[in-house]
Amino acid sequence: MPRPHFDDIFMELAVNLAKRSHCIKAQVGAVLTKETRIISIGYNGPPAGTHNCDDEFPDLGCPRDSKGSCSLALHAEQNAILYAAKNGSDIAGSTLYVTLSPCIACARIIYSMKIERVIFLHSYAQYKGIGTDEGVDFLRRFGVQVDEYAPGDGFSLVSDPPLARRV
């Protein structure tokens, strides 16, 4: 049996982290690594100390902002990056594994934090039904390596994260 590549290990962890999300609309996980070591993890949801969307709004999910996004939640990438920064981790030069490609707002944060590489499982543009992956385009334009995840030889993810919670 071949040994799994670190990309496979970290994406599998991101998939499992997505399952911790309380979001009714989408469940997204993220793993921030540097030199094959985990710096931080995150999944989408409201800030700590507030309420979970599936508890407070079990039928429709949390209120939407003017662009149709959750008005309460932090994205998985934001949670992972904020936790790492809060704990003084050196993020520059790191790699971010995420189950949904970054939106434009997260892409700006990723670039600003000098994250070197992003590996994503699913396309944000396809999920949202929009023409282009603005976050991916932004990152590539400014020199961040962005790759769609491709499993290594003989490896497949144990499970794929649900983008919509089955209620």
Distance CA 103, CA 123 (A): 10
Task: Give the helix, strand, coil percentages of the chain, each rounded to 5.
Answer: 30, 20, 50
- Look up 77 and say whether it is catalytic: yes
Structure tokens at 82: 């904020």
- Evaluate whether 41 touches 19 at the Cβ level (below 8 Å): no
Q: Say which of 77, 116, 134, 148 is annotated catalytic.
A: 77
Give the pair of three-digit tokens for residue 62: 């949390």
**At residue 78, what is the residue type?**
Q
The helix (H) or strand (E) run that includes residue 146 is: strand 145-148
Which residues are catalytic, by number?
A: 77
